[in-house]
Amino acid sequence: MQTARLLMRRRLRLSVTAGTLIFGGLADAATKPNILFILADDLGYGDLACYGRADIRTPAIDSLARQGIRLTRCYANAAECTPTRAAFLTGRYQQRIGGLECAIGIGHTGRYDDAIRLCAQGELGLPVSETSIARLLKEAGYTTALSGKWHLGYDAKFSPNRHGFDHAFYVQGGEAEYFFHTEPNGEPSLFLDGKPVARDGYMTDLITDDAVRFIAQKRESPFFLYVAYTAPHSPYQGPQDAHDCPLPPDSERWNQSKGPRETYVAMIERMDEGVAKILAALDASGVASNTAVVFTSDNGATRSGSCGPLRGFKGSTFEGGLRVPALVRWPGKIEPGRVSEQVCLTMDFTVSFAAMAGVTLPPGRSFDGIDVLRHLAEGREPAPRTLFWRMRRGNLTRWAVIDGTLKLVREKSGASEETHLFDLAADPAETRDLAESRAEAAETLMAALAAWERRVKPMR
C-alpha cells in the first residue's frame, strides 16, 4: 500500500505541477493538414451503432471508426456544453477563464455566483483575451469557419468572429427550435458573422449545408472547420416534425429527460446523414486524404439518450455524464480499424490541432492538454493520465478526479456532501464504492484536487 501510494503521489505531483504535456508536433509547413472537428450536442457514449446501440443507424459516423480509430476512454471537459466548448477553444481547463463552469442560461444568464457576478458586469462569455485555437490557426495561415452551436456568450464582443473565425454561421445560445431557430423565450438565435439571420430549414440540415459550402470553396490555404451540431439536444424535433409556429416554452419537447425515442433516433440519424454529406464534400474537393477528422460529443446523454453501461447522465461527474464517443480519421497517420483505451479530454484535440499546424503560443500561455493524436498516430500504448473536473450550478458543486484506474467523485450541496471512490478497471459502471476501504487513496486524490483548484483559479 505504501509503495502504491508513493507512486500515485508522484504521478499526481507531475500532473499538478507540469501544467502542459505535449507528445510533440507533426507539423510540416508544406503539408499542413486540413482540420475538421465535429461536435455533437448531448450525444451519449451508447448512442452510436459503433458503440453498441442497435436501434440507431449511423453508417457515416461509424465509417470514421472503420477508417480510423475509435476511442473508448475519451472524456468531455465537462458534463454540459458551455464549459466543454470553452475548453476546446482554449486548450485549457475552463476553470481558468472564470464564469464558464456551467452552461450559460437562456437569455444570457449566469447560474452560479461567479457567473452571476460576471453577467452583472457584462463579462459573461469567452473573452477575446483568451487564446482560441481558431485564432492560432488563422495566424498560422488557415482559413477558419464555424458551422453550428456557439454558446460562449451573447454579447457581440464574445462572437466567434472576434475569436479568429473567418466565417461563422451559428446558434448563439444553448438550445434553439429546429424549424424557427428561436430560444424557448422566443428570441432569435441564428447568426451569421455576428448578425441575426433568417433561414428556412431544419437546423441540422442548415448546419450541414453551411459546412459543405465552406469545404467546396476554392482556396490555397489549409482550413479549420468546426461543425457543432445542435443534435440531439432538446427540443426533441425530428426532420419530419415541421409545424406552423414555434414550440411554446412549456412544450414537453424542451424537456431534456422526456424525448420520444423515435424522435431522438430520427435526430441522430439526420445528423449522421449530414456527416455523410460533409465527408462526401471532402472527397469531391479532393482534400479527404489531407484532412484530419475528429467526431465527438460535448458531454454525456440526457435521460432521453443512452450512456451505454455507464452510470449517470448529462450534468453528472459519474462516467455517463463525462465519457463520450470519439472517432478520429487521419489518413496516412492513423492506421484504420483500431480501438484505443487512451484516456483523453476534449482539450487534448486542441493541442493536437495546434501541433499539426506548427503554431507558437503567445508568451506566458500554455496548454493544459496533451497532443493525443500524435500519441495515437505513433501507435503507443495507453499512457496513464490524471484529469480533473469541477462543475457548479447554484449552490451545487460536483468534482471528479481520475488518476490511472482510480476515480474520485465528490458532490456538495449546501451542508450535504458525499464522496465516492471507484476502480474503473474493475468497475467501469461505478457500482462498488471504495471510499471507505481505500480511504488513503481517496485522501491522496482529494489533496490533488485541492492543488489543481489552486492552480486553475481564474484571474478575472
SS3 443: helix
Three cell numbers written together for 115: 457567473
- Bridge partners (DSSP) of residue 323 are 75
The Cα diameter of the chain in Å comes to: 68
Quick one: which of 106, 169, 99 has its CA closest to 130? 99
Quick one: which of 357, 377, 49, 349 has its CA closest to 223? 357
Active-site pick, 151, 181, 233, 420 = 151
243 is catalytic: no
Yes or no: say if 26 and 378 are a contact pair by the CB < 8 Å rule. no
Measured distance between the N- and C-terminal CA atoms of the chain, rounded to whole angstroms? 42
Tell me the C-alpha distance between 307 and 94, whole Å: 24
Dihedral of CA 48/49/50/52: which sign? positive
Three cell numbers written together for 153: 456568450
Q: What does the DSSP 8-state code read for residue 157? A: G
81 is catalytic: yes
Distances (CA, A) of 139 to 215, 222, 273, 359: 20, 12, 33, 8
Residues ≥6 apart with Cβ < 8 Å to 208: 147, 227, 273, 274, 277, 278
Quick one: which of 201, 126, 110, 116 has its CA closest to 165? 126
Three cell numbers written together for 90: 482554449
Active-site residues, by number, are 81, 151
